[in-house]
Amino acid sequence: MQFQYTPYIVPLLAASLVCGAVAVYAWLHRFTDRDLAFTIVFTALSILAWTVGYALELAGADLDTKYIWGVFQYFGIAFVPVGWFIFSIRYSAPARDLSRRFIFLTVLIPSITLVLALTTKWHTLIWTEYHISQQGNFSALEISHGTWFWVHWIYSYILLLIGTILLVRSLFRKQGLYRRQIIALIIAVLAPWIGNILYISGSSPIPYLDLTPFAFTITVAMLAWGIFGFRLIDLAPIARDIVVDEMGDGLLVLDARNRIVDINPAAQRMIGTSASQVIGRPTAEVFKAWPELLERYRHVQEVQDEITIGEGEEQRHFELRLAPLTNRRGRRIGQIITARDVSAQKQLQERLKHQNEYLSILHQTTLDLLNRRSVDELLQSIVEHASSLLDAPQVAMGLIEGDSLVVRAVTNNQPYRPGDRISRGRAPLSWKAYDTGEPVVMEDYATWSNRDNIYDTDPPHAVADLPIMLGKECIGMLSMGRTTPKYPFSQEQIETGISYARLAALVLDNANLYDSALKEIEERKQAEEALRLAETRYREIYESVEDVIYETDYHGILTSISPSVQTYTGSRPEELVGKPVSELFVNPNDYAALDSEVTIKGGLRDYEISIKGKNGEELIGSFNAHVLFDQQGQPVGTRGIARDITRLKRVQEALALSRDQALEASRLKSQLLANVSHELRTPLGSVLGFSELLKYEAYGALSDQQKGAIEEVIDSTNYLADLINDLLDQAKLEANAVTLNHAPFSPREFLDQVTEQMDVLANNKHLQLTAAVSADVPELLYGDVHRLRQILVNLVGNAIKFTKTGKVDICLLRLDAEKWAMQVADTGPGIPVEAQSYIFEPFRQVDGSVARQHQGTGLGLSIVQQLTELMNGKITLESEIDKGSVFTVILPIRTPLEG
C-alpha cells in the first residue's frame, strides 16, 4: 500500500477528528439520553469511517490502495443516512420506541450496499469501472456506478429527506428552545443539503473534493452540541411531549392579550374541551363558566393558590400556579397557568383527618367508658361525637325499649327530647333501619312528604338513620341530620357511621354490663343487709311477741316454737320441739283439718282451734299459717302464728248475745206497742164515737154543762189517740225501725190532700188556711209521701193548735237545683229564742202551761225532726214573739235512681 501526501487530506482528517470527538462526547453523555447518544455515536463513527476512508483514498499512491479505501468508505456512506434518519425519528417522537424489526429493515439496504461495495470487483453492481483521475495534486478514483449504487443513492436521499422533514417540523412545533439551539439544529439540518448542492453544482470551495462527509461532520457536531451542550434533551421535544402532553397537570399558555396559545391534554380534560376549540380564544370566553375564578385572577400575574370547583361527589381541588412569561428583555409576553388536580390528595388528606378524628373519638369514647361515667352521660358523648364525626349538627340517639324507640340523648337543636317514646307509625325511616338492620339515607328530608311534623320549623336536609347493631340485634338508632342544603352523606361517611354505631353498641353493652354488675353488687349488699335486719327483727319479734310463732316439718313435728308458748300451755319450747304440733290441740283431729286447709290453699288466716291451756282450761287460738318451701320449691313444712283469742271470743259471744237480746227486745217492744196501740184505739173509737153522738144530741138534748163535759171527753180522747200515734212513731224511730218507702208523687196533689185534711181543724178555730206551690217545684217528686204528710200534718196541726187568730200559710218551695222545702208560717204567739234550741227534743214544749192548755204530746216536733233527718233533710225555725213562727223543712230533690 503506497501513500503520498496531499493537502486534501487535511480537512478530511480534521473532520475525522471532529467525528471521533463527537462520538466520544456523545458516548460520555449517553446517560442523558441513551438512544439518542447511541444514534449520534453510530452516525459519528459512520462519518468517521467515511472521512478516514476518503482521506486514505486521496492519499493512496496507486489504484489498488485507492480502491481499498474507496470501498472502505461504504462503511460510512451506506450508514450515515440511516443514522440521520433514526436520529430524526428519535428526536421528533421521543415516546416512540423503535422496534428491532424497524431498525433491521432500515439497515437492510445499507448492509446490502456495504456487502456489494466490498465485493463490487466481482459483480460491478456498485462500481462498473474505476480509474484514477488526477487533477493537479488531487488524485481520486473516478468511478462509474453500477445498478445497486443508484438503489443506495435513492434510498439515502429518501432517508435524508424524511429525516429533514421530521426535524424541521419538530422545530416548528416545539417551543422554548434557545436561539442558539435552534441555530445549531438548523445548521445540522441544512449542512448535508448545502454540501450536496455545492458538490453537485461544482461550486465547492475545494475543487474536486466531495463535501458530503464534511457536511455530515458539521451535522453530527451540531446535533451533539445542540443536544448535549445546550441540554436539548430537557427542553426539547421529548421533554415537551412527556412532561407537557403526558403530564397530569393542566398547562395553559396565554399570550399578552390573555388568549390561549397552548393547552395540554390534561388542561383540556379539566376544562372539558379540546385544544382546537380554545386555542386562540380569550380566557374570558373559555372560563365563563367560572366567573369567580376570572374575577379573582383578572389582574394577578404570579400566584400559587388552591381552588375548589364543584360540589359533592363532583368536587375537585386544584393547586393553581400562575406565572408570567417574559422575553429575554423581561417584557411580559404571556402567562403560564398550571393546575394540578389535588383532589385525590385532598381526599386522602380528608380521609386521614377523618381517620384521625375517628380514632380520637374512639379513644375518647373508650376513655369515657373507663371513666365510669353514667350511661346517660355516655350516650350524650356518643351523640356529640357522632355529630362531629359525620358533620351532622342534628343527632338523636334512641334505644329500643319494648315496642318503642325511646330517645335517650340528643344534640341541642333536635326537636325530640330525651324520654320521648317513638312508636311505630312515627319516624318511619328509623323503623325501616331497625327492620332491615341497614342504614337508611335520604338526600333531602325537608322536601319529603311523609316527614315528621316535629321537624316542621327547621327540617334537616340530608338525613341518615344508622342502626346500632349489637351482633345481629338492633338495640337502637343514631339519627343524623344535616341542616345545610345539598350536602348529602357520602358513602364513606355512612360507612364510618356504621362502624361508629357498632362501636357505640359495644360501648353501651359494656357500660350496661358494668352498670348491671355494679347494681348487682349493690343489690346483693342491700339484700344481705335487709336479710340481717329482717333476721334481727324476726328474732326480736319471735322472742317478745305474745302470739306463738312456730314451725313444723312436713309431718307436723314442731321444729321451733316461740317462748311465748309457755304463757299459754305451761310447756317450755324445748319440751315441745320434736313433738307433733297436734299435741297442743284439744282435739288432735283439728290438726288434720288445719293441715289439709294449709296444703290445699297454701295458707290460711284466722283459723280457730281449741288449745290445751294451763291447768286443763281450754283456750281458743286463731291461726295464720302457710306452707314453707325449700329452694327447689318443694313443700317442707308449715310456719304459723297463733294468737290467744279466748278472751276476745268470750267478749264477742257476750256482745253478740246482748245484741241479739237487744234486737229482740226492741222488736218485741215495737210489736207490743203496735198491739197495745191497736187494743187502745179500739175502745177509744167507741169513746170518741159515742161522745160525739152525745154531743150531736143523738141521744137527746144536752144542757150546756153536759155539752162542755162531752167536749172535754172528746178532747181527751183525741189527745190519747195522738199520744198513741206519737209514742208508736217515737218508739220505731228509736229502734231504727222506720224505713222510708220512696215513690213518685205529685207535690200539688199532696198539698191538696193535707190542706183538705187540716181545713176542718182550721175552720173550727176560724183560722184562714192557705196553700201555695211555687211554680218551679217539679210536677213530680220522689219520696215517702206518707212520712212527708206526717211531717206536714204535724207542723200544720201545731200551727193551728197554737194560733188564736190570723192565719196559717203552707207553701212548697224550690230552693235550688237540688232542694225543695215545705214551709208552714203562722201568726201564733212565736217561740222564744231560748226555747228554739230544745223544742225538737222529745217531751219538750215551750212551757208547761201552753202544753197543758193545748194537750200536745210533746213528741210531734221531735218526730218531725227525726223523720226529716231520715230523709237527709233539715228543719229550720224562724220565730218572733207575738208575730208568729215559720217552720221550714228543707229536703233534697231525689230522683228515682237514688231510691
Partner 1 sequence: MTIPLALIFEDDPKQKIVFERALQLAGFATEAVMDGLQARSRISGTPPALILLDIHLPYISGLEIMELIRADSRWAEIPVIVATADIFHARELEGQVQVLVKPVGVDQLRQIASRLRPADSAKENTES
Which residues bind to partner 1, rule: CB under 8 A? 674, 677-682, 684-690, 692-693, 696, 698, 714, 717-718, 721, 725, 728, 760, 785-786, 789
In the complex, least distance from residue 684 CB atom to partner 1, rounded to whole angstroms: 4
Segment (H or E) for 354: helix 343-370
Query: Three-state DSSP class for 405?
Result: strand
Which of 207, 208, 316 has the alpha carbon at shortest distance from 269? 316
Q: How far is the CB of 743 from partner 1 (least distance, A)?
A: 9
Q: To the nearest whole angstrom, how small is the minimum distance from the Cβ of residue 725 to partner 1?
A: 6
User: How far apart are CB 796 and partner 1 at their closest, in Å?
Assistant: 16
Nearer to partner 1, 357 or 692 (CB): 692
Closest distance between partner 1 and the C-beta of residue 693, in Å? 6
What are the Cα distances from residue 291, in Å, to 258, 297, 381? 15, 10, 44
To the nearest whole angstrom, how small is the minimum distance from the Cβ of residue 825 to partner 1?
Answer: 26
Compare residues 385 and 732 and give the one whose CB is closer to partner 1: 732
Q: Based on CB atoms, which residue is closest to partner 1, 531 or 674?
A: 674
Cβ–Cβ under 8 Å, residues 228 and 33: no
Q: Are 847 and 831 in contact (CB under 8 A)?
A: no
Cβ proximity to partner 1: between 186 and 721 the closer is: 721
**Cα separation of 546 and 218, whole Å?**
139
Name the grid cell of 695.
154531743
Cell of 783: 219520696
Q: Is the dihedral of CA 451, 452, 457, 458 positive or negative?
A: negative
CB of 689 to partner 1, least distance (A): 3
**Which C-beta is closer to partner 1: that of 579 or that of 695?**
695
Are 503 and 362 in contact by the 8 Å Cβ rule? The answer is yes
Least distance to partner 1 from the beta carbon of 663, Å?
Answer: 19
Distance in angstroms (rounded) separating the CA atoms of residues 167 and 93: 10
Considering beta carbons, is residue 173 or 678 the nearer one to partner 1? 678
Nearer to partner 1, 750 or 802 (CB): 750
Q: Minimum Å distance from CB 876 to partner 1?
A: 26
Query: Could you tell me which residues come within 8 angstroms of residue 442 by beta carbon, excluding any fewer than 6 positions away?
Result: 429, 448, 462, 463, 464
Closer of 212 and 717 to partner 1 (Cβ): 717
Is residue 6 a contact partner of residue 209, using CB atoms and an 8 Å limit? Answer: no
Q: To which residue does cell 331497625 refer?
A: 434
**CA atoms within a 13 Å half-sphere pointing along the CA-CB vector of 749:** 8
Closer residue to partner 1 (CB): 190 or 721: 721
- The distance of closest approach from Cβ of residue 620 to partner 1 in the complex, given in angstroms and rounded to an integer, is 44
Which lies closer to partner 1 via its Cβ, residue 498 or residue 728?
728
CB of 664 to partner 1, least distance (A): 19
For 735-851, strand residue ranges (E) read: 743-745, 768-773, 781-783, 807-816, 819-826
Looking at the Cβ atoms of 104 and 696, the one nearer to partner 1 is 696
Q: Whose grid coordinates read 339515607?
A: 441
Instruction: Give the Å distances, CA to CA, from 432 to 395, 421, 427, 436.
Output: 17, 17, 9, 6
Nearer to partner 1, 466 or 800 (CB): 800
- Judge contact between 122 and 133, C-beta under 8 A: no
Smallest separation (angstroms) from partner 1 to the CB of 706: 17
Minimum separation from the CB atom of position 668 to partner 1 (A): 16
Min dist CB 585 to partner 1, Å, is 53
Residue 17 C-alpha cell reads as 477528528
Element (H, E) at 638: strand 635-644
Residue 762 CB, nearest approach to partner 1 (Å): 14
Q: Which is nearer to partner 1, 6 or 691 (CB)?
A: 691
Q: Residues with Cβ < 8 Å from 128, sequence gap 6 or more? A: 144, 145, 146
Are residues 810 and 824 in contact, defined by beta-carbon separation less than 8 angstroms? yes
Q: Which is nearer to partner 1, 352 or 693 (CB)?
A: 693
Residue 742 contacts residue 784 (beta carbons within 8 Å) = yes
Grid cell at residue 579: 313433738
d(CA 381, CA 392): 14
Q: What is the distance between the alpha carbons of residues 721 and 230, in angstroms, rounded to a whole number?
A: 160
Q: How many CB atoms lie within 10 A of CB 682?
A: 9
Nearer to partner 1, 284 or 737 (CB): 737
Q: Where are the alpha helices (DSSP H) in 554-703?
A: 565-569, 573-576, 589-601, 646-695
DSSP 227-249: IIITTHHHHSHHHIIIIIIS-SS
- Here the cell at position 397 is 340517639
Residue whose entry in the numeric block shows the C-alpha cell 460491478? 124
Angle (CA) 278 280 283, round 5° = 65
